[in-house]
């Protein structure tokens, strides 16, 4: 996104689409930051945090994931390292202070699940109880967190997710190589690699600005074609 590949310097095809996706992701991240800045240091209400997540962060994540998939199609397949059991045990490193652990950008999306039938309500307790009938005891309700704790936790989750998105935006080639390594490990273990939700794009709702929706849908089609081409040539 912020880095350019020498193979995609032309202004047509995938290069132009990636430039449009760059503007879309950058604009959505800027709007998310601006919405959070309205509250200053105080955490916004949890409902407002969820609104920022749905309107800005989720479609930006979907755009960046599809751009990463397009870039991964231009890279060679990684060479897996031998298993840990086949390598000699490394020496124990000296103990050091734990470093900063940055949030990791999620490269996969959950497929939409079919709606499960709503379970039947439990039978209500009888309205009339005899004195010799033991009354069933109800479990004690769990203590609910306060509103301030809920708002702080929601803001923390949103900021970590937004920070991971921004790091992936700044270095998409690193994420593309990580995506290929994940797919190679899954295939080596005999598992199907996790893919994106192409049939139901996250964030592609009527609330998204129409030009943004067009870019997101075009990126979705391009990522599908790239994945199909990789499958056919493998």
Give residue limits of the domains in the chain: 1-78+147-234
What is the chain's Cα-based Rg? 24
Within 8 A by CB and 6+ apart from 184, the residues are 77, 78, 80
pLDDT for residue 10 is more than 50:
no
Query: How does residue 88 score in pLDDT terms, banded at 50, 70 and 90?
Result: low
C-alpha distance from residue 114 to each of 5, 21, 56, 62, 117 (Å): 40, 30, 26, 21, 9
Average pLDDT over residues 76-82: 78
Of 42-51, 96-105, 176-185, least confident by mean pLDDT is 96-105
Supply the pTM of this predicted model: 0.77
Average pLDDT over residues 25-44: 93
Of 25-34, 128-137, 149-158, least confident by mean pLDDT is 128-137
Q: How many Cβ atoms from other residues are within 10 Å of residue 212's Cβ?
A: 20
Average pLDDT over residues 180-207: 88
Mean pLDDT of the chain: 82
pLDDT for residue 73 is more than 80:
yes
Residue 82: per-residue pLDDT = 67
Residue 134: per-residue pLDDT = 60
Average pLDDT over residues 67-84: 82
């Amino acid at each position: 996104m912020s880095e350019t590949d020498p193979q995609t310097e032309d202004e047509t095809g995938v290069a132009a689409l990636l430039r449009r996706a760059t503007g879309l992701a950058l604009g959505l991240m800027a709007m998310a930051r601006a919405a959070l800045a309205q509250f200053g240091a105080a955490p916004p209400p949890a409902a407002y945090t969820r609104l920022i997540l749905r309107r800005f962060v989720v479609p930006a994540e979907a755009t960046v994931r599809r751009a990463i998939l397009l870039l991964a199609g231009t890279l060679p397949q990684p060479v897996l390292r031998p298993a840990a059991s086949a390598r000699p045990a490394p020496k124990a490193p000296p103990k050091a202070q734990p470093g900063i652990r940055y949030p990791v950008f999620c490269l996969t999306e959950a497929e939409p699940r079919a709606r499960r039938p709503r379970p039947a309500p439990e039978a209500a307790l009888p309205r009339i109880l005899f004195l010799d009938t033991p009354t069933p005891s109800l479990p004690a309700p769990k203590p609910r967190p306060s509103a301030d704790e809920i708002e702080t936790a929601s803001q923390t989750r949103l900021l970590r997710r937004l920070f991971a998105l921004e790091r992936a935006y700044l270095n998409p080639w690193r994420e593309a190589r990580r995506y290929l390594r994940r797919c190679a490990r899954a295939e080596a273990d005999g598992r199907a690699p996790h893919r994106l939700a192409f049939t139901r794009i996250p964030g592609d709702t009527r609330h998204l600005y129409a030009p943004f929706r067009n870019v997101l849908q075009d990126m979705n089609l391009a990522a599908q074609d790239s994945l199909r081409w990789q499958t056919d040539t493998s």
